[in-house]
Amino acid sequence: MKAIYGLYETPRGAQRAFNGLREEVQVRDITVMSSEPLEEWEFASQDRVTFMPWIAAGGAAVGLISAYLLTAVTQQTWPIRTGGMPIVSNWTNMIILFELTMLGAVLATVLTLLFTARLPAKLPKIYDPAVSDGKILVGVDAPADSQLASIERALHSGHPIAVHRKP
């Protein structure tokens, strides 16, 4: 594994390094790690776009349709005398409809979270124990040899504590 990264004390330095790296490599190739959320900084918002609400709504719709089919088919398969009332009554099925709708939404959300967060995952490609002590890691995994010098200059633009190269 070949990687190069810098460790920064402040989010301002990490942002400067991130801006410099953006000119050298694609944004998706830049790794940023912090032990605390830094949502107000641009480097922390690179993975913000998500379709999770739409996927959860789709899971809820699948759950609702499944619940309706389950109750309707079951009640029509084993009909009982209802005294002139309909065999399939949605008011009496409302609890099952609600529960399976929520089950569909929750399962879709959890599966989407696991997939987008790449869980369960192996150890991260770039990691330094200093991240646990409050430092911010900004780096690039597997850069081309021709890019190493420019990437190192970009990392130094943020005044890092240290810049490391992993062979």
Three-class secondary structure of residue 113 per DSSP? helix
Q: How many CA atoms lie within 13 A of 35 on its CB side?
A: 12
What pTM does this model have? 0.65
Tokens 């922390």 locate to 44
What letter would DSSP give residue 137? E
Full pLDDT tens readout for the chain, 167 residues: 588 889 999 889 988 888 888 888 887 788 888 888 887 777 777 666 778 999 999 999 999 999 999 999 998 888 788 888 888 888 889 999 999 999 999 999 999 999 887 787 766 678 888 888 889 998 888 788 788 888 888 888 888 888 888 87
**DSSP letters spanning 40-97:** TSGGGGTT----HHHHHHHHHHHHHHHHHHHHHHHHHHS----TTS-SS-HHHHHHHH
